[in-house]
Amino acid sequence: MASEQKDKNAKISSRLAALEAVRAEHRRTEERLAEIHKFFLSFQPDPTQNINRLIELAGKLFGATCALYNRLKRGLLWSTAQWNAPPDYNPVDKPEGHICYDVIQRGGSDVFLIRNLSQTDYAHTDPNVSS
């Protein structure tokens, strides 16, 4: 009987831990949504400022090391908005080999997912990818 009670207690403890994990994730989601809401309510007339702030928000929400907004201009890749870029970061570069260049070339609205980034060609061709 004592063994049965231990099993019941272990199951209850396990369920409580799972519920607490779900509750913590809900709390984090609420915090993220509140931050996004606050961001959009504070949009300014200056689109450049808004893009820079949006890149910062995305970087923080996704837990990124840095975040960039890149565009093709005169055959080069330009980082027109940056958040937390390394001090030696070059905001203008030849586009070939960069992940963002391939995303721009693909176009569309589909997600471009890369798994095991350090094992792809980008680890050697994109200077913003560190192995």
Residue 85 has pLDDT above 80, yes or no: yes
Sequence-ordered list of residues with C-beta below 8 angstroms from that of 59, at least 6 positions apart, any chain: 66, 67, 83, 84
Amino acid 131: pLDDT: 43
Q: How far apart, in whole angstroms, are the C-alpha atoms of residue 51 and residue 17?
A: 40
Write down the pTM of the prediction.
0.68
Asked whether residue 115 is assigned to any structural domain, the reply reads: yes
Range of the domain at 123: 64-131
Question: Which tens digit of pLDDT belongs to each residue from 99-125?
Answer: 999 999 998 888 888 999 989 999 999
Q: Average per-residue pLDDT in the chain?
A: 89
Asked whether residue 92 is assigned to any structural domain, the reply reads: yes
Amino acid 5: pLDDT: 82
1 pLDDT tier (thresholds 50, 70, 90) = low
Q: What percent of the chain has pLDDT over 70?
A: 98
Asked whether residue 102 is assigned to any structural domain, the reply reads: yes
Asked whether residue 12 is assigned to any structural domain, the reply reads: no
Asked whether residue 39 is assigned to any structural domain, the reply reads: no
DSSP class per residue in 22-88? HHHHHHHHHHHHHHHHHHHHT--S-HHHHHHHHHHHHHHHTT-S-EEEEEEETTEEEEEEEES--TT
Domain count, the chain: 1
Asked whether residue 105 is assigned to any structural domain, the reply reads: yes
Interstrand relation of 76-83 and 67-73 (parallel, antiparallel or unpaired): antiparallel
